[in-house]
Structure 1
Amino acid sequence: MADIQTSLFINGQYVPSSSGKTLTIYNPTDNSIVTDKVQVASEADVDSAVAAAKAAFPAWRDMAGAKRAAIMIKFADLLEQNVDRLASLESQAMGQPFSIARMFVLGPAAMWRYYAGNAGKVAGESFPPDEDGMYKLVQYEPLGVCAGICAWNASHQLAAWKMAPAMATGNTFILKSSEKSPLGLAAYGDLINEAGFPPGVINVITGAGPVGAMLASHMQIAKIAFTGSAVAGRAVMGAAAKSNLKHVSLELGGKSPALVFDDADLDNAVAHANSFLLNSGQICVAASRVLVQEEIAGKFIEAVKAGFETANEQMGDPSLRTTRFGPLADMKQFDSVMSFLDRGKVEGVKYLTGGSRKGDKGAFVQPTVILNPDLESKLYTDEIFGPVMSIKTFKTEDEAIQIANNTTYGLGSIIFTSDIVRALRIAGKLEVGTVGINSTFNPSLQTPFGGWKQSGFGREGGPEGLKAYLQPKTIHINMNVPAKKE
């Protein structure tokens, strides 16, 4: 078992909660207690973190970009050097298979390096005087104290998306981990210090919704970035509006479609459809609604069914390096997913495979395929966030687009076809923020990630992610003022 850090990290030091409140973390594999000592930040602790970040801001903002970059790169190196320990902590806290957890640490290390390359390179703009006689400048400045609230399914990835661009642009930061998976991010404190971040530049706190609400409503925080449920996202936005109108970015999940046309490479489409089960279906952009053209539906459905049945046999202890699929994050998430499946049974939904609990303990749910659910069924309309995929058939391209867009979400999508013209035509019609063609959509360092509609707004990743932590300042200089006479 990896060493466990349970304290808050504020102003360069690990400290206990001033309230004495703690969280208990259960291993979802067998419901055993991992630790009952995770410190819950109080309002006073949040104020302390904000004060530390505010005090550290001027010097960090004014530090040479190359120096900030060197610290960020050192932090990326430390993530890689500690990958096994951090991955083990994720496995213990929320059941992420060790091999997947390692990937979810190494990817963020690359993100830190990408944004380190932007430190000190944020250019402004200038416009010469025209008839108005004004020389015009636009410069881009950091916002100040920023905060991020992470979901539990990909803690390190979400932390990097938020903190790395904030660091590159000279902001300071307060990171709140999810109460489901706080252990990996709690271990950051030692790495932050070893990398050379000055005290107060990055602070890491823990707690549930009330702690997030303290950040969202804090009058001294200039921006908050949130990843999580739509309900919580609305609360964050409301609190920001009622306090100081701080900048807000929201990534709120999805119910993403995959469109499989009759000219698609069937083996490729099946392989990517089965990849939906990565992280036990607990990925916001995963294509949980698969639409397949009638001509190939039979072969496709049988192949996906076989893949899900195989996955069921590969589900087990996430601490083992050979395990591909683990439990859900905790028993609360297990109960949520099972409530959807139980509702489906009452509604008479056809389960091709799965639909039940796996084993007699832990938060394991069988990989489940649902065939042609009713379009109004909660199983089809709501984000389940578990290993549950629905498959529906369609006849025409227009019908597929209509079904795909018939959702309140708009995060991701996939199109499988050998006709690139059709792929691009459909991509332009889908009401989503991301599109993968002949491949599951995987976030990239260079491109923005985020959603349309009720999947949120704002972008993380790429140059757009950098802009999210900058604000423009416009300066006009009157060039018509006569020179002062000697």
Structure 2
Amino acid sequence: MVDAKVPGGTQMFPLPLKQYIHGDWVDSKGSEFLTLRSSVDDSLITDKLSCAVAADVDHAVDSAEQGLRAWQALPPEQRRAVLWKFADILEANAGRLAYLEATLVGKPVSLCKGLEIPTAAESFRYYAGFVDKIEGELTISEDGYLRGFLHQPLGVCAAIIPFNSPIITFAMKVAPALAAGNVVIVKASEFNPFSSLYLGELAIAAGCPPGVVNVIAGAVEAGHALSSHMKIRKISFTGSPMVGRKIQIAAAQSNLKRVTLELGGKSPVLIFDDADIGNAVQHAMSFLAFNGQGCVLGTRIYVQEFIAQTFVEMLTQYVQGAAATLGSDPFAETTMTSPLFHHRQKETVMGMIEQGKKDATVLTGGAAWGDKGCFVQPTIFYQPSAGAEIVQKEVFGPVVVVDTFKTEEEVLQKANDTEYGLGAYVYTTNMDRAIRLSKALEADSVAVNSANPTHITLPFSGWKGSGIGAENGKYVLRAFTQPKTINIRYDTSQKFISARGYMRESLKLITLS
């Protein structure tokens, strides 16, 4: 680790710049180093981040195989205690973890300490409770058989973490994997690796044997090596649809490893004229969370015509108020806005905004902010043309599109007219309508009169182009285990079965197969 300054300040904290494998910081087996600049002011944070290559993945897998034996040798109550301690350690290191986010990407420390770390800690505590509760079944039949099944861990798993919420997604993937008896190799995002790498060290502090949680920081080569490795049995990825497809292909062409993909969204917000408009406007502001860099945020707002003008005026006023705080110190506890988290994303967002100006009316924003960093003005587009890119594609920036509707049937068609299906939001006081739409919307997670569509106890998955598989809840444990059936013949008459009897049973099985 090395010390690094806060952009524009003097506070110091060590940055992790190596791979964390088998309980130790190690140099990459490659020769490339990654250069990372502050999203706040473009200052150089480091040009010495060791970039993992395929050989580092092999090293991590060898370590993980040793860690798997050590982890599974621990009694369940000890593994449960490790997960509980991991949660405690996360909270105890909140300040340092928040620094590791803020120093590079400018994420407000208040969001990191107040939201991300508590959520991650709760994930580890929640799954700690399942360590000894992943149960199978056993039946005793009258024809002389003990028939049952159990759930066994897959073994060595991999997780690829996105740049926007690495602490939360680390916990969403690692906690259930460990609870089910697996070990995990985590690839940190090359755009925001520091907190993920440090979490590897905290896993050892929590009591994980070396190799149980390895963390590497790399780019395309490392990701492909994980996806195609013959000894990795599952990979969980959060990121773009383009990369997700490549991971699924690599997994299929290698060892048919299991794949979970969470690939983003374009979540609709349906606001009816009987809704609490103040509540709807306040929650509609959630598209600015993490400066719009969230997969399940509501970025397509449909407002019933009768209240459209009032809603748009209120939303514009709120958004302009948020825009006035751009450039605030990310280390100030009152700061809630942030830049985009890296320069490539800024270029993508600005390109989509420029195209959006041709397809819709700009009510506010529509430009970059400042002469340094990755700040973009919060932008509201109004009444887009049919098929507009800003309606169909995920921007992953502080951009929302507002359109109007007359009838429930019309807005349902508009809401479902996308290849994404991650989240959806409905604002109405008519509970019959809320229930109808919750069922009819083509999305995994639907929130009614709220901006919170997900919860640790509920499965979170993508429909359509938003991905495959599920995370969160006890449902995710299925993705980290495999069922094994056991069929034991016993002698009900307490006599030995003859060789001829065994032959008959074997022939029955052959015939059935």
TM-score (norm 1): 0.97
Q: How far 1:238 moved relative to its partner?
A: 0.3
Whole-Å Cα distance in 2 between the matches of residues 304 and 242 of structure 1? 48
Summarize the alignment of residues 337-486 of structure 1 with structure 2, pairs less than 5 Å apart. Answer: 337-345=349-357, 347-480=358-491, 483-484=494-495
Q: Secondary structure at the match of 1:245?
A: coil
Q: How far 1:6 moved relative to its partner?
A: 0.9
1:422-449 deviations in Å (ceiling 9; x for gaps): 1011110001000000001243121111
**Aligned CA-pair RMSD:** 1.4
Which of 295, 308, 322 is matched with 2:334 structurally?
322
Q: How far 1:121 moved relative to its partner?
A: 1.6
**2:91 is aligned with 1:97:** no
Summarize the alignment of residues 161-200 of structure 1 with structure 2, pairs less than 5 Å apart. Answer: 161-200=172-211
Summarize the alignment of residues 88-237 of structure 1 with structure 2, pairs less than 5 Å apart. Answer: 88-102=99-113, 103-129=115-141, 133-237=144-248
Unaligned segments of structure 2, at least 5 residues: 1-11, 498-513
Runs of 4+ with deviation above 4 angstroms: none
Q: Secondary structure at the match of 1:165?
A: helix
**In 2, are the aligned partners of 1:126 and 1:136 still within 8 Å (CA)?**
yes
Whole-Å Cα distance in 1 between the matches of residues 36 and 234 of structure 2? 29
User: What residue in structure 2 maps to residue 249 of structure 1?
Assistant: 260
Q: How far 1:484 moved relative to its partner?
A: 4.5
Letter in 2 for 1:368: T
User: What residue in structure 1 maps to residue 324 of structure 2?
Assistant: 313
Q: How far 1:297 moved relative to its partner?
A: 0.5
Whole-Å Cα distance in 1 between the matches of residues 267 and 102 of structure 2? 26
Whole-Å Cα distance in 1 between the matches of residues 472 and 18 of structure 2? 29
Letter in 2 for 1:341: I
**In 2, are the aligned partners of 1:13 and 1:189 still within 8 Å (CA)?**
no
Q: How far 1:93 moved relative to its partner?
A: 2.1
Letter in 2 for 1:3: P
User: What residue in structure 2 maps to residue 258 of structure 1?
Assistant: 269
**In 2, are the aligned partners of 1:434 and 1:441 still within 8 Å (CA)?**
no
Q: How far 1:210 moved relative to its partner?
A: 1.9
1:378-410 deviations in Å (ceiling 9; x for gaps): 111100000000001000001011000000000
Distance 1:54 1:482, change over 3 A: farther
**In 2, are the aligned partners of 1:139 and 1:472 still within 8 Å (CA)?**
yes
**2:32 is aligned with 1:29:** no
Of 347-356 and 261-270, deviating more is 347-356
Whole-Å Cα distance in 1 between the matches of residues 201 and 79 of structure 2? 18
**In 2, are the aligned partners of 1:412 and 1:441 still within 8 Å (CA)?**
no
**In 1, are the aligned partners of 2:108 and 2:336 still within 8 Å (CA)?**
yes
TM-score (norm 2): 0.92
Which of 238, 241, 250 is matched with 1:239 structurally?
250
Distance 1:485 1:167, change over 3 A: closer
Letter in 1 for 2:352: F
Letter in 2 for 1:68: R
**In 1, are the aligned partners of 2:359 and 2:388 still within 8 Å (CA)?**
no
**2:98 is aligned with 1:87:** yes
**2:298 is aligned with 1:287:** yes
Q: How far 1:352 moved relative to its partner?
A: 0.3
Unaligned segments of structure 1, at least 5 residues: none
Of 10-19 and 227-236, deviating more is 10-19
Q: Secondary structure at the match of 1:288?
A: strand
1:78-116 deviations in Å (ceiling 9; x for gaps): 110110111111112222111112221221011111111
Letter in 2 for 1:106: P
Q: Percent identity?
A: 44
Q: Secondary structure at the match of 1:123?
A: coil
Q: Secondary structure at the match of 1:435?
A: strand
Q: How far 1:478 moved relative to its partner?
A: 2.2
**In 2, are the aligned partners of 1:161 and 1:465 still within 8 Å (CA)?**
no
Whole-Å Cα distance in 2 between the matches of residues 414 and 375 of structure 1? 22
